Structure 1
Amino acid sequence: MSDSNTTNFTNPSTFILLGIPGLEAAQVWISIPFCTMYVIAILGNFIILFIVKTEPSLHGPMYYFLCMLSITDLVLCTCTIPKMLSIFWFNSREIDFSACLTQMFFIHCFFAMESGIFLAMAFDRYVAICDPLRHSTALRNHVVAKIGLAVMLRGSIFALPCPLLERQWPYCRTSIIPHTCCEHIAVVNLACADIRISSYYGLTVANLVICLDMFFIAVSYTQILRAIFRLPTKDARLKTFGTCGSHLCAILAFYIPGLFSVLTYWFGHHVALHFHVLFANVCLLVPPMLNPIIFGVRTKQIRDRLLRLFTHKGT
């Protein structure tokens, strides 16, 4: 397909992913940190899954939710980063129209799923701290499985209309997407039709899901902090709050970049396009890289099992 900006078509077979507009000459160098972070994310999340699977003492609700988070992170970064690297290294810019819509679905679905898993983890911490006697009965394995299924279905239901709407639009402006992946707004802007429904749906649902999850997480932690401050000793308060430390760090690593990205989209009209694209990739890659590091370093059971694993290999 031609790279022309004036290609006329209504039923595209392929799109052209431009990469990072304005930074084409530096893309090979930019790929180095992105590739490094991707490798760390893949290795770290697989290690988390292996440790939880092989350590019977970790077969509990908190660690099952952690496994869900690791699987979500693996899918979220793998559906975008390999294609981005192929653009940077091999100039492989073409992406099939159906593959583009599939990638869009996976990005939005698993982003919503990750937010939902953080909410489920906050609920787990709430029950464990505020009602510890009921924790083992309230969050049995079948309940955890139902929560995981609900999170997956919610993400799928909210994400599915986006590619379905995109499939209906005629595309006659250009075949070039100024991005490294098939991000929703970047694809919507190529349509030569009234795209307000699709645009408003994508933005409204994304913001609604994230804001509702953040609200309920805040409510959970308000109750958790009230329970912690009622503990009789400082050591007990610190020890109990320490069980939430890794979860809080992971929440901050996920929501702060996401909120900043939304704010720059709404209010950063004078921000360079390459910054928007770079930061969108950071939002998709940094949390999957940091989550296994955060939980591995701050969770004693995982840290001890990891040390035993490497110690045994070294002997």
Structure 2
Amino acid sequence: MEEAPHSNSTCLRPTFFLLTGIPGLGGAQAWLLLVFGPMYLLALLGNGTLLAVVRTDTTLHQPMFLLLATLASTDLGLATSIAPGLLAVLCLGPQPVPYAACLTQMFFVHAMTAMESGVLLAMACDRAVAVGRPLHYPVLVTKARVGYVVLALAMKAVAIVVPFPLLVARFGHFRAKSIGHSYCEHMAVVELVVGNTRANNLYGLALSLAVSGLDILGITSSYGLIAHAVLRLPTREARAKAFGTCSSHICVILAFYVPGLFSYLTHRFGRHTVPKPVHILLSNIYLLLPPALNPLIYGVRTKQIRDRLLEFFRSKKSPF
């Protein structure tokens, strides 16, 4: 007979886990629907609109906008991988999730996060070539090469994240079925494992440092090249125009990495000083805020996107 959902006794590999949301908030969790619900809706509408605009307007079939469409697709996948379950927990209370579905969610959350970081690096490199070598840009950065880069980023994200669910699947005993989190985050599930989890801990730490660290290093290097190229331009107007082409991307980078870095630091070094509900809130904000903000940033700050959106809404206006 299957064990009751709320049992916290040591058990064999469960058929399901129980996502408890944000422990410690009790009934106040429902109020977070007013925060995360609009964020998810904004992510769906904003990124869906961006994809529709880029797809239907052939003048936007350029490397920079193809990378932007890839970012929008990744944002949709990232937000959708956690938001429906999060909203269900906030609205209805603790929710059961099948064991296989939990491992699947774990894979997609971490893979989409890795993909997003990789796309931001690719966009930084694109801007570095556009500003540093504008005459050679059409030859160096082509649609075909962007396609190869996106494929390589997707393959890398899959390859480095597949070990997460595999490292969890090797365990046959768990201390509990209740996960003190709003989604199947790798370390939140590992905390329930009965056995030696050293490999899980080391791989999680190494992957965080390697992926985010190398991507941040690449982005920093790209913007170092951009700054060097901009400072060599003869006039202030030229420098402002060149730097303006990167402003949207800088805002997106900050929206992704600043909450992510804060969440990572509180998880690794502030476990005993930062309350667990705060950490879980930060991890959800880290995953949902960028998908909600990115379309607004590019819609407002990118002239081509802004003009196409204005034309679209004008064409939809009623003549009456």
Where in structure 2 are the equivalents of 1:98-247 lying within 5 Å?
98-247=100-249
Give the Cα separation in 1 of the matches to 2:64 and 2:6.
Answer: 51
Question: Alpha-carbon deviation of 1:5?
Answer: 4.6
CA contact (8 A) 1:5 1:173 kept: no
In the alignment, structure 1 segments of 5+ residues that lack a partner are none
Could you tell me which of 295, 298, 315 is aligned with 1:295? 298
Question: Alpha-carbon deviation of 1:14?
Answer: 0.2
Give the Cα separation in 2 of the matches to 1:266 and 1:50.
Answer: 40
Could you tell me which of 78, 81, 89 is aligned with 1:79? 81
Q: Identity over aligned residues, as a percent?
A: 45
**Paired residue for 1:18?**
20
Give the Cα separation in 1 of the matches to 2:291 and 2:108.
Answer: 15
CA contact (8 A) 1:258 1:283 kept: yes
CA contact (8 A) 1:104 1:163 kept: yes
Q: Which string of whole-angstrom CA distances, capped at 9 and with x for unpartnered residues, describes residues 231-272 of structure 1?
A: 010000001100000000000000001111111112212211
Give the Cα separation in 2 of the matches to 1:72 and 1:171.
Answer: 34
**Paired residue for 2:287?**
284
CA contact (8 A) 2:21 2:94 kept: no
Single out whichever of 165-174 and 72-81 deviates more from structure 2.
Answer: 165-174
CA contact (8 A) 2:106 2:186 kept: yes
Equivalent residue pairs, number:
315
SS state at 2:85 partner: helix
Question: Alpha-carbon deviation of 1:56?
Answer: 1.6
Question: CA RMSD, aligned part only?
Answer: 1.1
CA contact (8 A) 1:119 1:213 kept: yes
1:68 aligns with 2:65: no
Amino acid at match of 2:32: I
Amino acid at match of 2:286: C
SS state at 2:136 partner: helix
Could you tell me which of 38, 43, 47 is aligned with 2:49? 47
Question: Alpha-carbon deviation of 1:92?
Answer: 5.4
Give the Cα separation in 1 of the matches to 2:236 and 2:132.
Answer: 17
SS state at 1:244 partner: helix
Amino acid at match of 2:301: R
Runs of 4+ in 1 over 6 A off after TM superposition: none
CA contact (8 A) 1:169 1:191 kept: yes
In the alignment, structure 2 segments of 5+ residues that lack a partner are none
Task: Provide TM-score, normalisation by structure 2.
Answer: 0.96
SS state at 2:173 partner: coil
SS state at 2:182 partner: coil
CA contact (8 A) 1:69 1:114 kept: yes
SS state at 2:14 partner: coil
